Chain A
Amino acid sequence: MNRREFLITSSAAAGLLALPRFASAAAGTIDLYSGSDANIVDLWNNVIRPAFEKAHPGVALKVTDAGDNNGLRAIADRALAALKTKTDPQADLFEQFDPRLPSGGIDAGLWVKFSAENIEGYDHINPLAFDTPYSLPYRGSQVLLAYDTTKLDPKDAPKSWDQLTAWIKANPGQFIYNRPDKGGSGGNFVRRAIHEANGRDPKKFKVDNFTTDFATETLTPALKILNDLAPALYDKGAYTAGNTQSIQLLAQGVVTMVPVWSDQVLQAISQGVLPDTTGLVQLTDLALCGGFSSITVFSNGANKDAALKLAAFMLTKEMQEAIITEIGGFPAISWDHISDDLRKKYADVIPSTIPTFPGGDWEKAIADGWYRNVAPGISRT
């Protein structure tokens, strides 16, 4: 090959790379985008994709990591524009997304409405998991308290908010939670304090009942509770920068108890990051918040029918058990449909209720209120 031929072929190859993704829009290849962490993308690539392609020959699945929720929002915006111009959005399915976004998407008919008619196994879904008919819950997780059983006897583990706060104050420096905007474990601990200050009624907070006055009224007493707690926390009120750092401090034996995500802590125990002596407990007066991740399907996607098959496939017993065993998540279907062995093994963490807290403007108000009022509450010099 002389130099000219080399230049021609290499520039042609470069040009092909720069072309829009014609190839991936091929019929029979479902385009799935995920904004979740690496462990979830790995689950899809290593477990779900081979199983699904085996069960449905002729249909292929392509999993793309969209980075984060903002990445998914950009694709959803593009799909909404494509819906208006009746073109292919080049996406079929989101692994976890809130169909309330982009605003007006539901009214425009962007998302498929799920029901027992188009999804097999829809009636097996845990009633706690339902959010909107446009999102199909397929995995869940909840925030629990993880503690060191060598320092705290399981029978003394706090079972209510009052017992928990009493324990924190009686054992100064033994509890830490992360900054509420940097990970759900600390975030939902803060939200549990908000529930506590407002009559333990999760229904009081909705995504659309946010007003500045209502937020001031409801958040102020909760932030006061947390401020009051701060001097008894690790290092008189230090807060880790994320879920993982809290687990790390528990693993190093620095603190005795931290709030954790159920899936992360089960995975940490199974990988030996946390010792077997780690105990898990959930508050019984009102559980810490959690949530379910749900699939959304584009109504204008080129492979809508195949995507619906995939959505239904996720509700099968096989896949739901994989979510428990592979990533330590909760199944989205009721535990009655899970095999007895698994049910017994995870009896401690099976939730009877999973309270949730709305996002939207609440999220900003909670994070900003916490940073301004709780974090600098005391001098730490």
Chain B
Amino acid sequence: MSTDTAPAVLRRHRSINRGSSIGLLLVALPVLLLAWLIVFPIFSAVVGTIFVRGPDGATEFSLASYRFFFTDGYSLGNLWLTLWTTAVCGILLLAIGLPIALYLRFSQGRLAAYVQALAIFPMFVPSIILAYALIRTIGPNGTVDLLLNAVSLPKLRTPYLTPWGPVIGLVWDNLPLTVLMLTAGLSSVSNSAIEAARDVGARPLRVFVSIILPRMGNSLLVTASFAVLGIFSAFTLPYVLGSASPEMMGPFMQRTFADMNDPLNAMTQAVITFGFCLVFGIFYIRSIARNREAQP
């Protein structure tokens, strides 16, 4: 027996080695593309905002554009609104997405399928269409107003053109991904663990806090970072549904670049935006790496 297995192990070892070199070749292309299309532009943007070409044509080190951004009340107001919108959206997404995901994880049948279809539906609606649909429903004299009026209730102050407009749009737009990722995370909670807890008399809340949540930490972090990365640089919904001022970083950057014809300040805003996203990116990568280590 042992004489038979030894060459087999060797053979397998060799084929793994060849496989890994092919694997490296396969990932080389995407890695090069990543370096060329993403890493290089980031470096060139950072360098371009620090080493500025002066009026005499000479390139000199200057942090003036950053100093301007962080002393300009208007720019800071926009940054603050972006952070506020991102935080509010992130909390709302988890608060709405987690119950749906829990329901989908622990129930079967036709109703669950309908709920799932409904939760995934926004993924297939382009955000510009969504923006106009929201104006029509929650906007002034929209469907919600008409329904309230029909049962003689007072008009609601519409969120359209206020900071809450983009929040509603962004939550709706990002809900499918949140639900999908949380459902995937919940699949790591085994039925037997929950049954065991129930057998010793744990109530649903106890099961959730002691059994489900500890196993969900990672996927909650991943979900939150994904949502934050998408929302921080959102453009269409804040532009169409939101207020004129303060504006979120996406519309602000676009306006500075195209309308103000000011690439330096637009690039500075982009680098600052990137800096904030980087923090959440690091969270995401760390949790992925930890996940990998945890798995044998």
Contact = CB atoms under 8 A, between A and B. Distances in A.
Interface of A: 179, 181, 234-235, 238-241, 245, 248-249, 252-254, 363-364, 367-368, 371-372, 375-376, 380
Contacts of A253: 141
Contacts of B259: 181, 363-364, 367
B141 A375 contact: no
A372 B74 contact: yes
Contacts of A239: 161, 243-244
A364 B259 CA distance: 7
Given A239-B161, A240-B161, A248-B135, A376 B141 contact: no
B187 interface: no
B122 interface: no
B48 interface: no
A254 B140 contact: yes
A234 B158 CA distance: 11
21 contacts: A235-B161, A238-B160, A238-B244, A240-B161, A241-B239, A241-B244, A252-B140, A364-B261, A367-B255, A367-B259, A367-B260, A368-B260, A371-B74, A371-B244, A372-B74, A375-B243, A375-B244, A375-B245, A376-B74, A380-B162, A380-B243
A239 B255 CA distance: 16
B245 A371 contact: yes
Nearest to A176: B161
B98 interface: no
Nearest to B141: A252
Interface in B88-117: none
Interface in B251-271: 255, 259-261
Contacts of A252: 139-142
B130 interface: no
Q: Which 8 A-B pairs have the closest CB atoms?
A: A375-B245, A238-B161, A254-B140, A239-B244, A375-B244, A376-B245, A252-B141, A181-B259
A371 B139 CA distance: 23
Contacts of B157: 235
A254 B155 CA distance: 12
Contacts of B158: 235
A181 B255 CA distance: 9
Interface in B74-91: 74, 77
A238 to B, nearest CB: 4
A239 B242 CA distance: 9
A249 B140 CA distance: 8
B240 interface: yes
A364 B158 CA distance: 31
Nearest to A248: B135
Given A238-B243, A241-B244, A252-B139, 12 more contacts: A181-B255, A239-B243, A240-B161, A252-B141, A254-B139, A254-B141, A364-B261, A371-B247, A372-B74, A375-B245, A376-B74, A376-B77
A376 B246 contact: yes
Contacts of B140: 234, 249, 252, 254
Contacts of B74: 371-372, 376
A106 B154 CA distance: 62
A191 B153 CA distance: 41
A187 to B, nearest CB: 11
Contacts of B239: 241
B137 to A, nearest CB: 12
A109 B295 CA distance: 72
Nearest to B74: A372
A21 to B, nearest CB: 27
A304 B21 CA distance: 60
Contacts of A380: 162, 243
A273 B296 CA distance: 63
A59 B158 CA distance: 55
A179 B245 CA distance: 10
A141 B142 CA distance: 31
A248 B141 CA distance: 11
Nearest to A181: B259
Among B240, B244, B255, B261, the one with the most A-chain Cβ atoms within 10 Å of its Cβ is B244
B289 to A, nearest CB: 41
Contacts of B139: 252, 254
Contacts of B247: 371
A238 B162 contact: yes
A184 B12 CA distance: 70
A332 B259 CA distance: 28
Contacts of B161: 235, 238-240
A235 B260 CA distance: 27
A258 to B, nearest CB: 13
A264 to B, nearest CB: 17
A368 B256 CA distance: 9
B244 A235 contact: no
Nearest to A368: B260
Contacts of A363: 259
Interface string B138-162: 0111100000000000000110111
Contacts of B240: 241, 245
Contacts of A376: 74, 77, 245-246
A234 B161 CA distance: 10
